[in-house]
Structure 1
Amino acid sequence: MRAIVVQKFGATPELADVPVPVAGPGEVQVALDAAGVNPFDLKMADGILKGKMPTDFPMILGVDGAGTVSAVGTGVTKFTVGDKVVGKFLTAPAGHGSWAQYATVPEDATLVPIPDGVTTVTAAALPVAGITAQDLVDAARIQPGQTVLIVGATGGVGSFLVQLANIAGAHVIATARGDATDQVARLGAAETVDYTRTRPTDPNVDDHDPATRQDSSVTAAVRFTHPDGIDVLFDLVSAAGDFASHATLVRQGGHAYSTTWAADEAALRARDITGGNFESKGRSPELSRLLSRVAAGDVVVPVQMTVPLEAAPAVLGQGSARGKTVLAI
């Protein structure tokens, strides 16, 4: 079968012909129609799992995948051949991912049925980014009327976070380039901050005059419109310095989360702010909940583009995401 693999950590991803995996006891074999692309896929190729999880080579990349159950191993009771399913294809040993025509996964892994009306392309874009967003919203326990700042709102996780925070009743402030303002507004952002735009030093002066304009950080822009601070910060992109700056916006007793492990957790605790460096733990229940919302039309899955499997090496690690990239298998 065709698959995107690396021969060793740090190697260039390539299209290869590898054996079709067989469903062993308790395992499900899935004929994949579509696979999601996430920043974590590049990290896998570069060796983030080295020393942390046993890995088989050539390592087939990909975590998110959706398709049809094509075979089941002995003892499987949750799934039958012909079921449409979506899930995460990362279990020990790593290296048997979703960027392939077939993959196997234990039936008790993160694997759930796809509801009627949801396509495999849509479903494949959901697991990693969607579950991370759902876990963040659950962790922050957002209450109606709270002010939430999402830094990195146009990417996969951010696009889901804007929607889920809005559903929870929050006043959502999203960072986005000017040409993406409409996108995040449609997803539920009440305000946007264009981090590329310069701003006037005084709101009463002509901001078209270069002499009255200055560069403005996200922190300065949000503090200008919300001088009393915000309740929740979700920062999906920043390094330590910028995260620390954004966290100064959070009121005492609020929440601040970094998905890039940029948070100084001791400094947050000193200000009575909960959160810190965040790692998603969600599995099948969270994925099923998200799929139900997608099927009901409450959550939109922002697929930016769909490309063939062989194009995966070219799109791997592309920056400035405006939603999700999905591989058509």
Structure 2
Amino acid sequence: MKAISYSRYGGPEVLEYGDRPQPKIGPDGVLVKVRAAAVNPVDRKAQAGHLDGMLDAVFPVIPGWDVSGVVVQPGVSVTEFAVGDEVMGYVREDFLSRGTFAEYVAAPVRTLARKPRNMSFEESAALPLAGLTAYQALHRALRVRADETVLVHAAAGGVGSAAVQIARHLGARVIGAAREPGQDRIRELGAEPVVYDESSFVDQVRALAPDGVDAALDTIGGTFLKQTLDVLAPEGRLVSIADGEVIGLGGRYVWVRPDAEDLAALARLAEEGALTVRVARTYPLEETAEAHRAHTEGGLNGKVVVTVPWTDPGEAD
């Protein structure tokens, strides 16, 4: 099969397009014919070696954790999926090796759910990691309830925009923080925007929520994480997905995990029209390095997705 891989840590320059062995599937996995895979910040971090203390890398590594595609072979113990099912997944295992930037990926069933019927393969590939991060932070860590006020950082980004929509679906009022270019997007999602400015951020939030916010989801860390302490209500809850210092500040640090039930819940929200994904740019598989460069440059107002042309699975290597 054709795939993107790297044999040493580095930036986009280490990515190579070529032939790799088609992955084998275990009893509890399925072989997915990839139609699309999304680029995420963690892909760049893993590729640069920043996760080396957490995850072993079995070189050559095929990068990527987000995927959508079609099941072409279920494992012998799999009853959840059949040949021809359209699925999406956050296919993260406990090591780096067989990722999603390839024609085929072996995916444990715990990482998959059925693709939303009203989403394209490109849109559904962009949903799992960002959507699960937001869903698990809001439901499990922050336990957001109806009529609460929630502050979401980087609310126009992948995780942030999903968090705004999920919190709104829960019945919460949402204040969304973003740079100036993201303000319109935040309004479109039904949140009240504030602009990142170190000298006025706290005052902006306090003007909207004089008694403080009930819950805050930090996605950027640093200065604005610390300033968030000044806008929390007395019993306010704080979670960060970006900065471990949140623990010392009395909050919680959250790392997303694959969860089939949570992923299925995201699919239901999408089918109900309560959750959408914006794809800014797509690239063919052989141009994955360019996709990574575009993602690094930022400013795209949406997700970057790599597409894989459909071929007859019977023709696979």
Q: Do these two structures clear the TM 0.5 threshold for a shared fold by scoring above it?
A: yes
Match of 1:313 among 283, 289, 305: 289
**Using a 3 Å threshold, how does the CA distance of structure 1 residues 242 and 93 change in structure 2: closer, same or farther?**
closer
Question: 1:321 offset after TM fit, Å?
Answer: 5.2
Name the structure 1 match of 2:243.
261
Q: What is the TM-score of this pair, normalised by structure 1?
A: 0.85
CA distance in 2, matches of 1:113, 1:51: 33
Name the structure 2 match of 1:226.
209
Name the structure 2 match of 1:170.
172
Deviates more, 1:62-71 or 1:84-93: 84-93
CA distance in 2, matches of 1:89, 1:126: 12
Residue type at the aligned position of 2:9 = F
**Using a 3 Å threshold, how does the CA distance of structure 1 residues 264 and 301 change in structure 2: closer, same or farther?**
closer
Are 1:248 and 2:230 counterparts?
Answer: yes
Name the structure 1 match of 2:137.
136
Name the structure 1 match of 2:315.
none
Deviation per residue, 1:175-198 (Å, 9 max, x gap): 123332221111121x111226xx
Native 8 Å contact 1:90 1:96 kept in 2? no
Give the length in aligned residue pairs: 302
Native 8 Å contact 1:154 1:321 kept in 2? no
Larger radius of gyration: 1
CA distance in 1, matches of 2:234, 2:58: 47
Deviates more, 1:18-27 or 1:156-165: 18-27
Native 8 Å contact 1:156 1:321 kept in 2? no
Match of 1:280 among 256, 272, 287: 256
Name the structure 1 match of 2:61.
59
Q: Which runs of 5+ in 2 are unaligned?
A: 309-317
Residue type at the aligned position of 2:7 = Q
Secondary structure, in 3 states, of the residue corresponding to 1:254? strand
Name the structure 2 match of 1:34.
36
Deviation per residue, 1:56-80 (Å, 9 max, x gap): 2110000010111112333332222
CA distance in 2, matches of 1:226, 1:158: 19
Deviation per residue, 1:206-256 (Å, 9 max, x gap): xxxxxxxxx7332232124433221111110122x3311222210111111
Native 8 Å contact 1:261 1:278 kept in 2? no
Name the structure 2 match of 1:300.
276
Name the structure 2 match of 1:209.
none
Q: Which runs of 5+ in 1 are unaligned?
A: 197-214, 269-274
Name the structure 1 match of 2:24.
22
Name the structure 2 match of 1:102.
104
Native 8 Å contact 1:21 1:103 kept in 2? yes
Question: 1:87 offset after TM fit, Å?
Answer: 0.8
CA RMSD between the two structures: 2.0
Secondary structure, in 3 states, of the residue corresponding to 2:245? coil
Name the structure 2 match of 1:325.
304
Identity of aligned residues (%): 35
